[in-house]
Amino acid sequence: MLERRQVLIPLVVLAMLIVVNMVKGLDYFSVDIVNGALYGNIPNILFGASELVIISIGMTLVTSASGGQDISVGMSATIASAAFIQVLANIGNQSVLGVFVSFLACCAVGALLGLFNGTLVAVFRIQPMVATLILFTAGRSIAFLIDGKVSPNLRNPITAQLGGVIPGVPIQTPIILTALVICIVALVFKFTNLKLYTQSVGINEKAAKLNGIDPVKIKILAFVILGICCAIAGFISVCKNGRHDSVNLLKLIEMDAILAVAIGGNALSGGKFNMAGAIIGAFTIEILNRTLLRYGVSPDAIKAVKAIFIIFLMAASSPVVVNQFNKLKERVSRKFIQAPERTCGPNMEGQ
């Protein structure tokens, strides 16, 4: 029941946004074929949201296990992708294998950064936001040094296809990569106890420990997974842009990722989580941004409009409002359905 309601709210919001977009023009869903790939609003949204979706997945796990958020995700992505470019440049070959090896190096760096954050949080018991503040502050400088103090360019036909379109495949590659990540996570949840263990650590660490789950390991694992998610997101971002700009790469994505987790109906204090909600939340943010652009909201006002929408959204999904709404619903239904079975009606509803 709880889970269903958790997904319901972001879905309703998503539907609202789509309706708002269709008011502006009914061609919202129209799709063309350009350069052999699908092109239109929906492909653009899926393409643009890929990094945010992938990071939100990891952020949900970290939120659940640690009851806090990692604010260094953008920096982790920047450092990992800087490592990707350097490894690729040093390998010097433009083969699929070369790119794949560099990608693995990128993921390894991401995992290491996750291990660093996770260790601070799980072993040294530092608040996640404070622990990740270290990388948040120093991350882009570290990436800048890895970059060799310039913004290196990535002129590589394979990464260009990974950030764009592979000939013969009608869907832009970042969309496929995002779908792959989602599938892998879904499979891991289906065939391992990761979700259960993470939630139990988040709900009650001591109880989890008494039941043989090591909270330290689970928390570190959550951060490592987030680190790898960041690395993949950074990799996609440099492939899209063809250049590593350590100053602006995925700037401020940490805020959007946390917001996606919250919109998805997840408690930021940890515990039970809903991955589908977070993914829908990430797409909601992307669609919201694009809706404001579609309506031509002026750059001065765009932040304010976005803030108002989010306040409204958060208030609407808060327990207080939801309870009031349920009470109102109950009262209304009592008034209209009323009388004959009055004796058993409220009782049944109560249960």
Q: Would you tell me which residues interact with another protein (CB under 8 A)? A: 24-25, 27, 34-35, 37, 39-41, 44, 48, 116, 119-120, 123, 134, 138, 140-142, 144-145, 148-153, 155, 164-165, 172, 237, 240-243, 245-248, 250-252, 289-290, 293-294, 296, 298-300, 302-303
Q: Which is nearer to another protein, 69 or 78 (CB)?
A: 78
Q: Which phi and psi angles does 328 have, rounded to 5°? A: -60, -45
Mutual angle of helices 2-24 and 302-317, in 10-degree steps: 150
Q: In whole angstroms, what is the distance from residue 41 CA to residue 37 CA?
A: 13
Torsion region of 126: left, alpha or beta (phi above 0 gives left; psi -120 to 50 gives alpha): beta
Q: Tell the smallest beta-carbon distance from residue 289 to another protein (Å).
A: 7
Q: Which is nearer to another protein, 234 or 270 (CB)?
A: 234
Token readout for 219 is 């928390």
Q: In whole angstroms, what is the distance from residue 77 CA to residue 113 CA?
A: 10
> Count H helices, E strands: the chain?
16, 2
Do the Cβ atoms of 180 and 263 come closer than 8 Å? Answer: no
Q: Tell the smallest beta-carbon distance from residue 264 to another protein (Å).
A: 22
Do the Cβ atoms of 48 and 173 come closer than 8 Å? Answer: no
Token readout for 236 is 């996609």
Q: Which is nearer to another protein, 155 or 327 (CB)?
A: 155
Q: Which is nearer to another protein, 37 or 282 (CB)?
A: 37
Q: Tell the smallest beta-carbon distance from residue 116 to another protein (Å).
A: 7
Token readout for 326 is 């349920």
Q: Tell the smallest beta-carbon distance from residue 37 to another protein (Å).
A: 8
Q: Which is nearer to another protein, 152 or 227 (CB)?
A: 152
Q: Tell the smallest beta-carbon distance from residue 244 to another protein (Å).
A: 9
Q: Tell the smallest beta-carbon distance from residue 39 to another protein (Å).
A: 6
Q: Which is nearer to another protein, 65 or 143 (CB)?
A: 143
